[in-house]
Amino acid sequence: MTGNLRIDGTRLWDSLMEMAKIGATEKGGVCRLALSDLDKESRDLFVSWCEDAGCTVTTDAMGNIFARRPGRNPELAPVMTGSHLDSQPTGGKYDGAYGVLAALEVVRALNDHDIETEAPVEIAVWTNEEGARFAPAMVGSGVFAGEFDLDFGHSRTDPDGRSIGEELDRIGYKGDETPGDHPVGAFFEVHIEQGPILEAKEKTIGIVQGVQGMRWYDVTLTGSEAHAGPTPMDQRRDPMAAASEILPGVYRIAFDLAPEGRATIGEFHVEPGSRNTIPGSVRFSVDLRHPDPDLLRSMDADLKALVSRIAEVRDIDGKVDDIWDSQPVEFDPDCIAAVTKSAELLGYEAMDVVSGAGHDAVYISRVAPTGMIFIPCKDGISHNEIEDATPEHIEAGCNVLLHAVLNRAGVAKPA
């Protein structure tokens, strides 16, 4: 009965471009840091669109937003789909927002075709997925799924000392609902791949089997400040010299486990930051990833041993703080099958993939059957203002999402 059902690709594209005006950057991307005024503006626009589509909108105490389209049987847990609206400081217009607005387009398409589902269909917007302003990432979905408690979520601070709880109050998105007191029958998230595989293989749809594990760290090296001129090299306690030996070792940890191993150093701070003073402190972030949990643990041990060894040789203090530990995830077989059947029904070229990036679906998979759908992005580029995807792929991913949702929510039969 619904085999020929399609979404309105032009409407979806127009919604994406309208949302992209909020926080637009000169290079074509967006900057909407979590719980900023621009994030509030994007949330307000999303809520207005959902209300126009006939949804009932609620918010929990972590600022997670839920927009529900009723089903015939209100006793059934909703089939949920969505993503996030916050971005990286120099982010693209599709990361997160595509998943949210594709979910909205699913609801709009169901309305257009007057289709009643057995279970309710619900759109979710998760708070602070990126972790760019408040670390760690995926805090909203993590609190919802019980990975973090509410106090932890509210207490996360940005570099200026403002907390998530304070900012939720300020922008008016701290709801009354307790995170997690919201049943979910199944969850789907559609997303750009953020990597080059689908484009290279000329596939339209990625059927995501799971997500690789990832660990975040803050490394602090502390030595002794001294004048750059009078202090001989062999008498320095220089944390920058130690860092110069640790950094290649971090990358070697990943290269030794190629091609699956990943290592990234994305933040670096030197204090006091004077050109003629030997630094007293160096701080940097480390991001390690691997799909095998045993090998990820091995990478963790290698990093800590590396820092300890170089710190001892250089006569400085070396500290590695664990910031985040997200173990590898395998998605629900039935949700994977729903995505596979939908891609086949629609005639799209598809392939199985494993996500190299973290997504809210990781945490939601701990409390509900979960699946993900990927579409290609140009040159595999994401977390970048030049991030790009074609209207055809945007439409295709949403069509697969529509049929996967219907697969799990069911189409109500006439009375």
Full 3-state SS string of the chain: CCCCCCCCHHHHHHHHHHHCCCCECCCCCECCCCCCHHHHHHHHHHHHHHHHCCCEEEEECCCCEEEEECCCCCCCCCEEEEECCCCCCCECCCCCHHHHHHHHHHHHHHHHCCCCECCCEEEEECCCCCCCCCCCCCHHHHHHCCCCCHHHHHHCECCCCCEHHHHHHHHCCCCCECCCCCCCCEEEEEEECCCCHHHHHCCCEEEEEEECEEEEEEEEEECCCEECCCCCHHHCCCHHHHHHHHHHHHHHHHHCCCCCCEEECCCEEEECCCCCEECCEEEEEEEEEECCHHHHHHHHHHHHHHHHHHHHHHCCEEEEEEEEEECCEECCHHHHHHHHHHHHHHCCCEEEEEECCCCHHHHHCCCCCEEEEEECCHHHCCCCCCCCCCHHHHHHHHHHHHHHHHHHHCECCCC
For 240-273, write each residue's pLDDT tens digit. Answer: 999 999 999 999 999 999 999 999 999 999 999 9
User: CA 184, 11, 67 angle in degrees (round to 5)?
Assistant: 25
**What integer pLDDT is reported at residue 413 of this predicted model?**
78
**What integer pLDDT is reported at residue 415 of this predicted model?**
55
**What integer pLDDT is reported at residue 301 of this predicted model?**
98
Contact 143, 62 (CB under 8 A): yes
**What integer pLDDT is reported at residue 2 of this predicted model?**
72
**What integer pLDDT is reported at residue 326 of this predicted model?**
87
Q: Residue 360: exposed, middle, or buried by beta-carbon count in 10 A (0-12, 13-18, 19+)?
A: buried
User: CA 12, 379, 22 angle in degrees (round to 5)?
Assistant: 40
Task: Record the pTM.
Answer: 0.86
**What integer pLDDT is reported at residue 298 of this predicted model?**
98
Fold of the domain built from segment(s) 213-326 = Alpha-Beta Plaits (3.30.70)
In angstroms, the CA 372 to CA 366 distance is: 14
C-alpha atoms less than 13 angstroms from C-alpha of 168 in its C-beta half-sphere? 25
Per-residue pLDDT in tens (0 to 9) along the chain, 415 residues: 578 899 999 999 999 999 999 999 999 999 999 999 999 999 999 999 999 999 999 999 999 999 999 999 999 999 999 999 999 999 999 999 999 999 999 999 999 999 999 999 999 999 999 999 999 999 999 999 999 999 999 999 999 999 999 999 999 999 999 999 999 999 999 999 999 999 999 999 999 999 999 999 999 999 999 999 999 999 999 999 999 999 999 999 999 999 999 999 999 999 999 999 999 999 999 999 999 999 999 999 999 999 999 999 999 999 999 998 988 999 999 999 999 999 999 999 999 999 988 899 999 999 999 999 999 999 999 999 999 999 999 999 999 999 999 999 999 976 5
Identity of the amino acid at 308: S
Non-local (6+) Cβ contacts of 97 within 8 A are: 16, 19, 20, 30, 42, 83, 84, 85, 87
Task: Tell me the domain boundaries of the chain.
Answer: 9-211+328-409, 213-326
For 348-388, write each residue's pLDDT tens digit. Answer: 999 999 998 889 999 999 999 999 999 999 999 999 999 99
In angstroms, the CA 122 to CA 59 distance is: 12
Q: Residue 272: exposed, middle, or buried by beta-carbon count in 10 A (0-12, 13-18, 19+)?
A: exposed
Distance of CA 93 to the CA centre of its chain: 14
Q: At the fourth CATH level, which superfamily is domain 9-211+328-409?
A: Zn peptidases (3.40.630.10)
